[in-house]
Amino acid sequence: MPYPVGHRGQVRKKIVDSARRLFNQRGFENVSVDSIMAHAGLTRGGFYSYFDSKSDLYAEVMRCFFTDPDWEHRWEGVEFDNSAEAGPQIVRAYLSSHHLDDVENSCPLVALPNDVARSDATVKEAFEIVFKAMVKLLGRDVRNSRSREKTAMAIAALCIGGMVVARSMNDRDLGDRLREAATKVALELGGWTKPQSRAKRRRKLS
């Protein structure tokens, strides 16, 4: 009996979703093809009809964030207003407590950078594609800057680095203050909030 139309695409999506969750939880080295397929409710034998290797699948998982208009895994509790600027919404969502806690659906730029650094050119290229896509989205809304790309890269680095460090801390309060600080600076860099004047900062500190 032939498979229904769209079956192959659905199976591929199952594999990618399974891999995303497991890679985010355990890292690339600690996840096997067997575990990915079992988690997806599939048998190992079908894996190589969709992907040449685990590295190829890893690259596909990377490309699904910021580069896929149909990406479904937004963090619960985070809403986007399509009529408003994307830049500040990305910053707030990225550094939100929802993203911090939702490890399975984490952005791969946060969950997987150490694995990427040890991986082959295919995986590194995929990482770069996602990072560039994030920078491009942020750069569209950057205000009052002579170099939108440089500013957007700095904002992206604040978002990614801030979340990586926050997740590495046992002290949740310290991590929350770090995310708050990174959010504030990133929004100011983008021109999406007005930084306090020196006089106001002095009054606040006095």
Q: What is the pLDDT of residue 204?
A: 46
37: CATH: 1.10.10.60
Q: How many domains does the chain have?
A: 2
pLDDT in tens, 128-158: 999 999 999 999 999 967 899 999 999 999 9
Q: Is there a domain that residue 30 lies in? A: yes
Which bin fits 43, alpha (ψ -120 to 50), beta or left (φ > 0)? beta
Task: Say if residue 58 is in the same domain as residue 91.
Answer: no
Same domain, 59 and 90: no
How confident is the model at residue 206, as a pLDDT? 40
- pTM of this prediction? 0.82
Q: Tens of pLDDT along 163-179?
A: 999 999 999 999 999 99
Contact at 8 Å (CB) between 109 and 131?
A: yes
Mean pLDDT, rounded, of the chain: 85
Q: Is residue 9 predicted with pLDDT exceeding 80?
A: yes
Q: Which residue has the higher pLDDT, 29 or 101?
A: 101
CATH (domain of 190): 1.10.357.10
Per-residue pLDDT of 108-127, as tens digits, reads 888 777 778 777 888 888 88
Task: Give domain status of residue 70, yes or no.
Answer: no
In a domain? residue 69: no
Counting every residue written for the chain, the total comes to: 206
Q: Give the model confidence (pLDDT) of 34-78 as tens digits.
A: 999 999 999 888 899 999 999 899 888 887 778 776 666 667 777
Whether 105 and 52 share a structural domain: no
Q: Which domain holds residue 12?
A: 7-63
In whole angstroms, how far apart are CA 140 and each of 85, 87, 88, 151? 9, 7, 11, 11
Residue-level pLDDT at 12: 93
Give domain status of residue 1, yes or no: no
Whether 200 maps to a domain, the answer reads yes
Contact yes or no for 155/86 (Cβ under 8 A): no
Question: Are 99 and 51 in a shared domain?
Answer: no
Examine residue 72 and state whether it is found in any structural domain, yes or no: no
Q: pLDDT band at residue 28, thresholds of 50, 70 and 90?
A: confident
Question: Which pLDDT band holds residue 2 (cuts at 50, 70, 90)?
Answer: low
